[in-house]
Amino acid sequence: MQLREFETVSKLDPFGRGYKHRACRILFNVDGHLRKVCWVVMELDGSVSFGLSNKEFVVIETASSYLHANGHFVTEHRTNLDGVAMSDRKSAHVTLHSSGVCHMRANRAKPLFEYSLEGWYPVKTQLRWIFVFTDPVMGLPEVRTAHSRDAIVRFPDATQSARIEVDLLPQPEKPIYPLIPSAPLQTICGIGAGYVVRLSVFTNPPKPACLFVVRP
């Protein structure tokens, strides 16, 4: 198991407040090929955003779901989004504002969904925020080189999907963060303003990309 933290201090930016300290892409290395997976941005005002890096990701429907005891999501109350312009559904991302507003939207369009999570900020107890499943990794966009702020995860099988769990944790006095006991493939932590964001990466049987935002 590996742990990799975002940079918080650099010689050029001793306060660690620059964009390079607050943004990160996750890349998978599969047999020497780099695939773009997702990204996280932690804003100075305390908000945090998460999105899949595949620009072809289109939101087809929204629904309510719950995690069954067998570990699978059961989906109810589906709403088809065929009536929403493609440009407002393509490459959408999720943002949780310090005010408590959480929404998914694309290109500053009207949110595809929105709800309130008042009192989450600053984080006092662990908050499970997002479950996401990627398409099979072989279908994710490939890049030639990594950037300095990219977190690179060695992924064992390009025919499989990935499951990523995104948690928000309180900031500890020491930079030691609890890991998920079930031994994920890799854990990536970043320090935001008033929280720590933790992404735990697992392998998963192949499935189409889907994203679940946890509501209270």
What's the pLDDT tens digit per position in 150-162?
Answer: 999 999 999 999 9
Domain that residue 79 falls in: 3-213
d(CA 63, CA 212): 9
Query: In angstroms, what CA-CA distances link 145 with 26, 35, 150?
Result: 13, 10, 10
Matching residue, tokens 């065929």: 82
The band of 75, judged by pLDDT with boundaries at 50, 70 and 90, is confident
Measured CA to CA, the distance from residue 24 to residue 190 in angstroms comes to 9
pLDDT tens digit sequence for 86-112: 999 999 999 999 999 999 999 889 999
Amino acid at 92: A
Alpha carbons 138 and 30: distance in angstroms, whole number:
9
Q: Choose among 110, 99, 115: nearest CA to 47.
A: 99
Cβ atoms of 168 and 97 within 8 Å: the answer is: no
Which helix H or strand E contains 45, and what residues bound it?
A: none
∠ Cα 83 88 94 (to 5°): 120
**Taking a C-beta distance cutoff of 8 angstroms, is the pair 132, 92 a contact?**
no
**What DSSP line would sit under 47-80, residue for residue?**
-EEEEES-TT-B--EEEEEEE-TTS-EEEEEEEE
**Mean pLDDT over all residues of the chain?**
86
The total of structural domains in the chain comes to: 1
pTM score, two decimals? Answer: 0.86
Residue 19's pLDDT band, with cuts at 50, 70 and 90, is confident
DSSP type of residue 44: T
Amino acid at 91: S
What is the C-alpha separation between 206 and 63, in angstroms, rounded? 21
